[in-house]
Amino acid sequence: MRILIVTATSLEIEPLVSAFRPPGNVGNAGPRVQLYAHRGHDIAVLTTGVGMVATASWCSDALTRERYDVALNLGTCGSFDSSLTPGTVVHVVADRLAELGAEDHDRFIPIEKLMLLDENEFPFTGGQLVNVAPPSNPALMALTEVRGISVNTVHGSERSIADAIARWHADVESMEGAAFMYACLTHDTAFAQVRAVSNLVEPRDRSRWSMAEAIANLGARSLEMIASF
């Protein structure tokens, strides 16, 4: 199987990549892509850099150059749901471009309400990017399914957090997930967005984060997924 792994930073998947070996063959995978092999699979690892613009651009470049059986977006996230404690690995099955819209004084107007985008215009479903056909993989199916939002500025004040929860009813947030899903949907590539919770979304306090645990757990679950293909 040919697998594309997409990550914002190499740190987030360091434990996973350390289990890979050099590839048996080399293709035209393109810039920002490193090639590996693992358990009979050819694996391309794309490190996009942080943010939706970089993720959308480099994902589209990679998916145009080569055809992959599945693409996996692996990274960390913040959780709005206190039951999703730091270290929990989740499968984001729906994501949203949370900041796409306009402000009207103290009111936010989503892009579809501005009549600039139909909420069901491809690749959107009800204003969200939805993975309606994730890969059939036992390790993936064992993960908790959640809904996410993708943002350019992570939430860090009580007011903005409360507004986001009330507006979107999301479970997690990241800075790249929706862009990855958009690229995969438009390139007709099977995909899954898998993330480990590094922190609860709250006024910023890095002393309460569990980044090392999140990265370790993400690596372990990702290896299980790859072994299950």
pLDDT digits (tens, 9 = 90+) for 144-187: 999 999 999 999 999 999 999 999 999 999 999 999 999 999 99
Answer with the residue of higher pLDDT: 104 or 140: 140
* Beta strands, E only, the chain: 2-7, 33-38, 41-47, 70-79, 89-95, 101-104, 107-110, 129-130, 144-150, 172-174, 191-200
38 pLDDT exceeds 70?
yes
What's the pTM? 0.95
Q: Quick one: pLDDT at residue 24?
A: 54
Name the band, by pLDDT with cuts 50, 70 and 90, for residue 214. very high
115 pLDDT exceeds 80?
yes
Q: Cα separation of 187 and 4, whole Å? A: 13
Tokens of 13: 């998947």
% pLDDT > 70, the chain:
97
How are beta strands 2-7 and 41-47 bridged, if at all? parallel
- Domains of the chain, CATH where assigned: 2-228 (3.40.50.1580)
Over residues 78-85, the mean pLDDT reads: 96
Over residues 122-138, the mean pLDDT reads: 97
Q: Which residues contact 183 (CB under 8 A, 6 or more apart)?
A: 55, 56, 59, 60, 63
60 pLDDT exceeds 70?
yes
Q: Quick one: pLDDT at residue 207?
A: 87
